Copies of this chain bind each other. A is one copy, B any other.
Amino acid sequence: MRRVLVVDDEPQMLRALGINLRARHYAVATAPDGATALRLAGHCPPDAIVLDLGLPDLDGVEVIAGLRVWCSAPIIVLSGRTGPAVTVEALDAGADDYLTKPFSMDELLARLRAVLRRPVPAAQPRETVEVAAFTVDLGSYTAVPTSGEGEPLHFTPTEWRLLAPLLRNPGRLVTGAQLLRDVWGPGRENRTNYLRIYMSALRRKLEPDPSRPRHLITEPGMGYRFDP
């Protein structure tokens, strides 16, 4: 089942899209604003994204750019604002399609089929992030020195699970409880010692000076942040 992330600030539009998409057997996640969208996409990578431009917190182009940092899933933009300038801006920011409200639900579904039709199996969705001297690919689970020379890094499953939500939300703070839920599942939100152990291991492998981390940054009392 393909996962679709729907981002819109109007609850009724969110409901309408969710119902229609679920009826077509998509797995739907919804977000009411840009920050939630970026966070959700980081924790559960979707196969496609339907994005309304008129969000309360972030500009639409910022959301697209934030997603495109690591996410290559097709983005279909919905917008009430018309005119070629906005369309061009959104498309050049990384969107794959642009629909003007009011739109036909049938047309949206057809355009969604069109972007999802693109070859998935052979295409290797790369999710490469540069961190310190290494190029980390969350898609193929590889971490090699960016220079090309040297030994690749090896991470354990838990280390990969912890690394993923951080690297997929560059510059953003990720709550300790959120990380614990992502890695160890719900019910372990208070086992912060797990986080300390594995963050230590990640820093020892990735950071040039593990005692003074520059990329995997602790926000005391809040959580952690990946600074690219």
Chain B: minimal CB distance from A207 (Å): 19
Chain B neighbourhood of A94, CB < 8 A: 117
* Total copies of this chain within the assembly: 2
Please pick, from B124, B156, B225, the residue contacting A169 in the complex, using a CB distance under 8 A.
B124
Residue of B nearest to A119 (CB): B121
Q: Is the CB of A95 closer than 8 A to any CB of chain B?
A: yes
Range class of the A interface residue count: 35 or more
Chain B neighbourhood of A84, CB < 8 A: 104, 106-107
Contact of B124 with A123 in the complex, beta carbons under 8 Å: no
Chain B neighbourhood of A122, CB < 8 A: 121-123
Q: Is the CB of A58 closer than 8 A to any CB of chain B?
A: no
Residue of B nearest to A91 (CB): B110
4 smallest beta-carbon distances between A and B, as pairs: A84-B104, A140-B172, A141-B173, A91-B110
